[in-house]
Amino acid sequence: GENVEQHPSTLSVQEGDSAVIKCTYSDSASNYFPWYKQELGKRPQLIIDIRSNVGEKKDQRIAVTLNKTAKHFSLHITETQPEDSAVYFCAAATGGGNKLTFGTGTQLKVEL
């Protein structure tokens, strides 16, 4: 089955700096790559996603890049703010899109 690896497991940045989280996947048939944010004690929520026919997608301070050849994708957060502190999960969809495999998560801490 699909295997998604996510790095780093923890990331601490100063407010205003950029943060980058990287993921790799194993199944070349995966075609959908979402990112979820989970605040402490809350449910995961989608923040951005990208499909395999697109190399980059941006939404205000958040961007995702996809390299299909290398089978890796990354989340970029610019001008980080304290409210960006949370756990971020990458994921890859296989099985015709019915099976979403998540990475193990990155705890992002934005310090004042």
Q: What does the binding site for another protein look like in residue numbers (CB under 8 A)?
A: 1, 6, 9, 31-32, 34, 36, 42-46, 49, 51, 89, 91, 93, 95-105
The nearer residue to another protein, 9 or 12, going by C-beta atoms, is: 9
Q: DSSP letter for 16, please.
A: T
Q: What dihedral angle (degrees, nearest 10) is formed by the CA atoms of 74, 33, 49, 79?
A: -20
SS3 96: helix
Q: How far is CA 65 from CA 21, 42, 89, in A?
A: 11, 26, 15
Q: How far is the CB of 109 from another protein (least distance, A)?
A: 17
Token pair belonging to 11: 């990331």
Q: In the complex, what is the shortest distance from the CB of residue 15 to another protein, in angstroms, rounded to a whole number?
A: 27
- The distance of closest approach from Cβ of residue 52 to another protein in the complex, given in angstroms and rounded to an integer, is 10
Q: Write down the residue that tokens 């296989």 correspond to.
A: 94
Nearest residue (CB) to another protein, 42 versus 61: 42
Among residues 18 and 45, whose Cβ is nearest to another protein? Answer: 45
The phi, psi pair for 104, rounded to 5°, reads -85, -5
In the complex with another protein, which residue's Cβ is closer, 1 or 112? 1
CB of 46 to another protein, least distance (A): 5
